[in-house]
Chains A and B, each alone.
Chain A
Amino acid sequence: MTIDHALTERGSRQSLLPANLSRRSFLKASAAIGGGLVLSLHLPSSRNTARASEAAGFEPNAIIRIDGNGEVFLTMPYVEMGQGTYTAIPMLIAEELEVSLDKVHLEHAPPNEQFYANPLLGVQATGNSNAMRGAWKPMREAGATARMMLVAAAAKEWSVDPGTCRAQGGEVIHDETGKRLTYGALVGAAANMPVQKDVALKSADSFTLIGKPIKRLDTPTKVNGTAIYGIDVRPPGVKIATLAQSPVFGGRVKSLDDAAALAVKGVRQVVRLDDAVAVVADHMGAAKKGMEALQIEWDDGQHASLATEDIARELDKATMSPGAVAQNIGDVDKAMGSAVTRVEASYQLPFLAHAPMEPMNCTVHFRKDECEIWIGNQAIARVQAMAAQAAGLPQEKVIVHNHLIGGGFGRRLEADGAVRAVEIAKQVDSPVKVVWTREEDIQHDLYRPYWFDRLSAGLDDKGRPIAWKNRFAGSSVIARWLPPGFKDGLDPDSTEGAIDLVYDLPNFHVEYVRAEPPAIPTGFWRSVGPSHNVFVTESFVDELAAAAKQDPVAYRRALLDKSPRAKAVLDLAAEKAGWGSTLPEGSGRGVSLQFVFGSYMAQVAEVEVAKDGTVQLRRVVCAMDCGTPVNPNTIEAQIQSGIIFGATAALYGEITLKNGRVEQTNFDSYQMLRINEAPAIEVHIMASTEPPGGMGETGTSAIVPAIANAIYAATGTRLRKMPANPGLLKRA
């Protein structure tokens, strides 16, 4: 059977790689050591690898293994970071394989871009809300293939037509004779059955797992302290290190006096790198104390005077020159000329740190000719490749163990931490766990890019937008992270949410100007491109409604005749939120609508703005059409999560630079929304049998404009630069 990894259900826009770079793999069946059925992924070009592994009786590319007891083992190419993928992906296989979830066990996939690449990303990574979108078809097909082989084995054993047998609850049953055999009894024979070319997938009305609110498989260990994250690993003889990296990006260590640090009890060693220093100790307490005792003089390099304002000014300037055309519909200049009203606005979004609760960390044991790494990471193959480079070893000599992730949000799609830990470990004899302090974590992140957007629109005499023009400038994360994904001045992430809008806009023109800030590294941040574009687009639509003196929901609704699914979520959110009903003085409602990550979402936020300008987010109503809702329980959780994450950014999130240094250090200066500030959240999921859309990030991008629009409704002040600044919202 061929699984077409190049196929996406909704076109190539959701793939970060050009289609010709995607790979095709096929399923192969074999017998496992000690009996059992293994289904593994193979590439047409990897026959040698396959033969070698068969000779050794080992299947490194397994995705499903069923043992003689009927227990099912899944190799998970996706990483669990709280989004529930360790439950939802097994549900797909269990649904088609006809086994209960308690028979299913998970194993982390080893790094292997060939076999475990996400079909939508083209690389082995968990991000861009695409685990479910990528897995929906291939994982069900794998489960169905295994089921059909088990059925064929049973039919052969009973000398009956396979068509008269059915699978249920981990057994094959022949109703006519009442015969039944467990999967465990069948795996040996099933391994010799031919792999079916075409498998029929179950229809939505016969699903027994998909669509049910299933409890997550990873929860019990997370309430009793036994879950092991990267930061918890303790290989024998491990030492703990903490580090100080040049406070100015691009700076170097000029001089180092480590005498006082080495005198601290428990400190074993001080490691000096070109641009960082690490203290290695018996425990983190000693390492931190040693770090405080170090005397480091830095050569700040050429960025010693860099400030956020410099970057904003450069981006502003960049929007004055043409960029790459991301989308053009009609003739926007001509339409603008005939407009009755013109609206112009520019918007700015700040750099943001990820600040996952588990600070960056990586444990490395560097031995003479190999290197062992323990980490929790969203892109394990990238870790292996970059660590190998840093270690000066061939990739196969770098062993990577992946772990649960204490918050990813895009931060752990990067391998900078592993590279840094390898650099340190090369100078340490024992295994060493390098742990970033919170200050290092915040001040040496790869930040959500700063964005500058310039928009204009023309309205006709009824206030309807007949022209829409948007030119924005900022860093392309894709250009660094996945260079083939950046082509002709564009990448699919930077523009998602700015183009292909749900609205019917007859004359539409969007340009992107790639402009990289000096020195400061940028990275993916939960909801990535849409975290920026949806804020801008939905704020500007709101501005147009205001200019047309129309209700924001009615104004949007009138533009949705070609997007029935978008209209449906907008209507539902407005209805459930009581849109239009009166709120007290100083309060307001704001709406947002988006189609990103393959899912439709509308949110209504309700805010209360105090006289001193502080904003309290009271309530959020969210309506979502994410196609087939695979696990409604985790979908609801992810939306709640995304809303809190985005609201934190809208109200507090800002990383600023002064003298080349990040000014924020810890949770006092980089504030997080806390439980006393958390809004009531209502989530409404539409029933659907469409293929699933992403939902790990959609809540985040939608809430930011909903809050800004609510603040406008409450105060009349339009926020064009985030986060919300209470100084601008003060009332007499």
Chain B
Amino acid sequence: MAVAIKINGNTHSVDVDDDTPLLWVLRDVLGMTGTKFGCGMALCGACTVQIDGVATRSCITTVDSLGESEVTTIEAIGSTPAGAKIQKAWLEHEVPQCGYCQSGQIMSASALLAANPNPTDADIDDAMSGNICRCGTYVRIRAAIKLAAQSAGNGG
């Protein structure tokens, strides 16, 4: 049975089992490889996408749970105001190293900024502690979120 999914403003029909995690539909069926596989158990955040603006681990989100929800991935986050600011701050602070986890980091950080334009350190800890970075870019992630928040605060 085909399942219809709304991703980045387009509706895709995919013929997979209902309980297939969204991650594999994105990567292997639709070829949207910006969303990464890290653990398969929602422990590392590499697969983070936004579902109706909420940061969500796509590795445990089955396609039949999506319904009419809008999925946003790293490929389109730059067209949201918060996503564009986060990406710009990421470039400014040179956050990525190997870069593999950064799609997930950016998806989590963009959701945080959209919901909370002036996050405190504790807010950053809460929103970002589900995203592991094995290269240890945490110092720069924190600095970049604060930079993006400053530009957000200026009405940018």
**Which A618-648 residues have C-beta < 8 A from chain B?**
633, 637-638, 640-645, 648
Complex CA–CA separation, A676 to B99 (angstroms): 20
Are B97 and A83 in touch, CB under 8 angstroms?
yes
Complex CA–CA separation, A286 to B21 (angstroms): 10
Complex CA–CA separation, A438 to B33 (angstroms): 18
Complex CA–CA separation, A681 to B143 (angstroms): 12
CB contacts (< 8 Å) of A289 on chain B: these are 17, 19-20
Complex CA–CA separation, A336 to B39 (angstroms): 52
**Contact residue among A83, A232, A285, A640 (Cβ-Cβ distance under 8 Å from B139):** A640
Are A674 and B94 in touch, CB under 8 angstroms?
no
Are A357 and B36 in touch, CB under 8 angstroms?
yes
| Residues A641 and B43 in contact in the complex (CB < 8 Å), given A82-B135, A356-B134 | no
**What is the chain A residue whose CB lies nearest that of B44?**
A667
**Which A174-233 residues have C-beta < 8 A from chain B?**
215-216, 218-229, 231-232
CB contacts (< 8 Å) of B113 on chain A: these are none
**Contact residue among A84, A216, A285, A672 (Cβ-Cβ distance under 8 Å from B24):** A285
Are B43 and A678 in touch, CB under 8 angstroms?
no
CB contacts (< 8 Å) of A355 on chain B: these are 134
Are A82 and B99 in touch, CB under 8 angstroms?
yes
The number of chain A residues touching the other chain, given as a range, is: 35 or more
CB contacts (< 8 Å) of B118 on chain A: these are none
Are A675 and B141 in touch, CB under 8 angstroms?
yes
Complex CA–CA separation, A264 to B101 (angstroms): 30
Complex CA–CA separation, A81 to B97 (angstroms): 7
Tell me if B142 counts as interface (CB < 8 A to partner A): yes
**What is the chain A residue whose CB lies nearest that of B62?**
A285
Tell me if A240 counts as interface (CB < 8 A to partner B): yes
Tell me if B55 counts as interface (CB < 8 A to partner A): no
**What is the chain B residue whose CB lies nearest that of A220?**
B91
Are A357 and B101 in touch, CB under 8 angstroms?
yes
CB contacts (< 8 Å) of B71 on chain A: these are none
| Residues A666 and B43 in contact in the complex (CB < 8 Å), given A643-B136, A644-B136 | yes
Tell me if A437 counts as interface (CB < 8 A to partner B): yes
Are A227 and B99 in touch, CB under 8 angstroms?
yes
Complex CA–CA separation, A666 to B41 (angstroms): 8
Are B43 and A225 in touch, CB under 8 angstroms?
no
Between A229, A357, A407, the greatest number of chain B beta carbons within 10 A of the residue's beta carbon is seen for A357
Tell me if B102 counts as interface (CB < 8 A to partner A): yes
What does the 1/0 interface line of A427-444 toward B look like (CB < 8 Å)?
Answer: 000000001011000000
CB contacts (< 8 Å) of A640 on chain B: these are 136-137, 139-140
CB contacts (< 8 Å) of A218 on chain B: these are 99
What does the 1/0 interface line of A142-167 toward B look like (CB < 8 Å)?
Answer: 00000000000000000000000000
Tell me if A317 counts as interface (CB < 8 A to partner B): no
Complex CA–CA separation, A359 to B130 (angstroms): 18
CB of B88 to closest CB in A, whole Å: 9
Are A357 and B133 in touch, CB under 8 angstroms?
yes
Are A222 and B99 in touch, CB under 8 angstroms?
yes
Tell me if B40 counts as interface (CB < 8 A to partner A): yes
CB contacts (< 8 Å) of A82 on chain B: these are 96-99, 135
CB of B134 to closest CB in A, whole Å: 5
Complex CA–CA separation, A82 to B133 (angstroms): 12
**Which A523-554 residues have C-beta < 8 A from chain B?**
none
Between A81, A223, A227, A633, the greatest number of chain B beta carbons within 10 A of the residue's beta carbon is seen for A223
Contact residues of B: prevailing secondary structure: loop
Tell me if B56 counts as interface (CB < 8 A to partner A): no
CB of B61 to closest CB in A, whole Å: 11
Tell me if A288 counts as interface (CB < 8 A to partner B): yes
**Contact residue among B32, B38, B137 (Cβ-Cβ distance under 8 Å from A637):** B137
What does the 1/0 interface line of B26-61 toward A look like (CB < 8 Å)?
Answer: 011101111111111101101000000000000000
CB of B21 to closest CB in A, whole Å: 6
**Contact residue among A223, A633, A666, A680 (Cβ-Cβ distance under 8 Å from B39):** A666
Are A219 and B96 in touch, CB under 8 angstroms?
yes
Are A284 and B90 in touch, CB under 8 angstroms?
no
Are A225 and B27 in touch, CB under 8 angstroms?
no
**Which B87-112 residues have C-beta < 8 A from chain A?**
87, 90-91, 94-103, 106
| Residues A285 and B136 in contact in the complex (CB < 8 Å), given A218-B99, A357-B101 | no
Are A641 and B78 in touch, CB under 8 angstroms?
no
**Contact residue among B20, B101, B103, B136 (Cβ-Cβ distance under 8 Å from A673):** B136
Complex CA–CA separation, A229 to B103 (angstroms): 13
Are A675 and B25 in touch, CB under 8 angstroms?
no
CB contacts (< 8 Å) of A643 on chain B: these are 136
Complex CA–CA separation, A405 to B126 (angstroms): 29
Are A228 and B142 in touch, CB under 8 angstroms?
no
**Contact residue among B19, B27, B73 (Cβ-Cβ distance under 8 Å from A284):** B27
Complex CA–CA separation, A358 to B135 (angstroms): 11
CB of A702 to closest CB in B, whole Å: 14
CB of A269 to closest CB in B, whole Å: 16
| Residues A407 and B34 in contact in the complex (CB < 8 Å), given A283-B29, A675-B124 | no
CB of A101 to closest CB in B, whole Å: 14
**Which A413-438 residues have C-beta < 8 A from chain B?**
435, 437-438
Complex CA–CA separation, A223 to B86 (angstroms): 9
CB contacts (< 8 Å) of A234 on chain B: these are 31, 33
Complex CA–CA separation, A223 to B21 (angstroms): 24
Are A359 and B75 in touch, CB under 8 angstroms?
no
Complex CA–CA separation, A227 to B103 (angstroms): 10
CB contacts (< 8 Å) of B19 on chain A: these are 289
Tell me if B4 counts as interface (CB < 8 A to partner A): no
CB contacts (< 8 Å) of B75 on chain A: these are 224-225
CB contacts (< 8 Å) of A60 on chain B: these are none
CB of A435 to closest CB in B, whole Å: 7
CB contacts (< 8 Å) of A284 on chain B: these are 23-24, 27-28, 37
CB contacts (< 8 Å) of A405 on chain B: these are 98
Are B132 and A674 in touch, CB under 8 angstroms?
yes
**What is the chain A residue whose CB lies nearest that of B145?**
A675
CB contacts (< 8 Å) of B39 on chain A: these are 438, 666-667
Are A286 and B16 in touch, CB under 8 angstroms?
yes
Are B24 and A409 in touch, CB under 8 angstroms?
no
CB contacts (< 8 Å) of B94 on chain A: these are 215-216, 219, 633, 637
List 23 A-B residue pairs with CB atoms under 8 Å apart, sorted by A's residue number.
Answer: A82-B99, A215-B91, A219-B91, A219-B99, A223-B87, A224-B74, A224-B75, A224-B78, A225-B74, A225-B103, A284-B28, A285-B20, A285-B23, A356-B98, A437-B40, A438-B38, A667-B43, A667-B44, A668-B41, A674-B131, A675-B138, A678-B136, A681-B139
Using a CB–CB distance below 8 Å, which chain B residues touch chain A?
Answer: 16-17, 19-21, 23-25, 27-29, 31-41, 43-44, 46, 73-75, 78, 87, 90-91, 94-103, 106, 124-126, 128-142
